[in-house]
């Protein structure tokens, strides 16, 4: 899958601020993308800021390529996905990053794919949109549709990386708690709550229904049960002896 990500090129068109380029590098590195191209850059020359914002992705910044036009930058790409926030006759067939990400990955298995982002102040021109085979629109609140350049890159790159299936969330180390353990926990808490005076015997059944509902929403693993049993055990000891024992 890393080879597929290597076939995905991030192209920034007419970018104004070096700091934004550095932030884009960091966003790319977060999502496994390494290929950065600047097309028709109009940068402010503040490369120290770019390096600062790139943090540990300075290699992407240093290895960037530059072209005079977008057409030159995508000349060797079979597929070009441009981002746009504006509507219009030639900007109607748009997809969200989540919708298009799997398709872009499939296309990247065959050839180079470019993901194109426009200028900070006015995006891509109609002539540049004409270079694109696909269009992407990031869903945002209509009350404020402007996105920071690096934010837009990060959102699109995140959806692409997620679609690779590479990320695997950490698994819970503790086994699921068995019913017998959960019932034993409930019994311990009933005894503890009676001893510390939280409830009276004639109200215990009613109160324990509430406690069981709480446990059912949050006590799932055997480790969870052990911790909650420890709380009950310690509280019962304190209720009988007046102060907690010294920990060893």
Residue-wise pLDDT tens digits, 26-35: 999 999 999 9
Look up the pTM and report it. Answer: 0.74
Furthest-apart CA atoms within the chain: distance in Å: 83
Tokens in use for 170?
A: 């950490």
pLDDT of amino acid 243 = 60
**For position 145, what pLDDT does the model report?**
84
Q: What percent of the chain has pLDDT over 90?
A: 59
Cα–Cα distance for residue pair 168/173, rounded to 1 Å: 14
Q: Strands, DSSP E only, in the chain?
A: 8-13, 35-39, 65-67, 79-83, 94-95, 113-117, 134-136
Across-strand partners of 82? 116, 135
| 138: three-class secondary structure by DSSP | coil
Asked if residue 248 has pLDDT above 50, the reply is no
- What pLDDT digit, counting tens, does each position of 122-166 carry? 999 989 999 999 999 999 998 998 899 999 999 999 999 999 998
For the residues 25-49, what does the mean pLDDT come to? 97
Q: Which of 37-41, 172-176, 192-196, 210-214 has the highest mean pLDDT?
A: 37-41
What mean pLDDT is reported for the chain? 89
Q: Which of 38, 159, 31 is nearest to 95 (CA)?
A: 159
């Amino acid at each position: 899958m890393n080879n597929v990500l290597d076939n995905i090129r991030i192209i920034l068109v007419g970018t104004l601020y070096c700091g934004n380029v550095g932030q884009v590098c960091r966003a790319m590195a977060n999502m496994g993308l390494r290929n950065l191209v600047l097309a028709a850059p109009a940068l402010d020359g503040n490369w120290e800021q770019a390096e600062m914002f790139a943090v540990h992705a300075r290699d992407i910044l240093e290895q960037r390529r530059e072209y005079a036009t977008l057409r030159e930058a995508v000349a060797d790409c079979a597929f070009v996905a441009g981002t746009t926030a504006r509507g219009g006759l030639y900007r109607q067939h748009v997809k969200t990053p989540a919708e298009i990400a799997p398709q872009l990955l499939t296309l990247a298995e065959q050839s180079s794919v470019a993901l194109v982002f426009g200028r900070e102040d006015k995006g891509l021109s109609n002539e540049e949109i004409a270079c694109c085979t696909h269009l992407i629109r990031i869903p945002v609140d209509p009350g404020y549709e402007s996105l920071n350049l690096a934010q837009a890159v990060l959102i699109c790159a995140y959806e692409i990386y997620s679609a690779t299936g590479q990320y695997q969330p950490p698994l819970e180390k503790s086994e699921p708690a068995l019913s017998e353990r959960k019932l034993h926990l409930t019994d311990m808490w009933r005894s503890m709550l009676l001893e510390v005076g939280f409830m009276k015997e004639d109200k215990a059944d009613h109160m324990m229904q509430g406690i069981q509902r709480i446990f059912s929403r949050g006590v799932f693993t055997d480790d969870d049960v052990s911790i909650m049993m420890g709380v009950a055990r310690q509280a019962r000891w304190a209720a009988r002896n007046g102060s907690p024992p010294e920990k060893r």
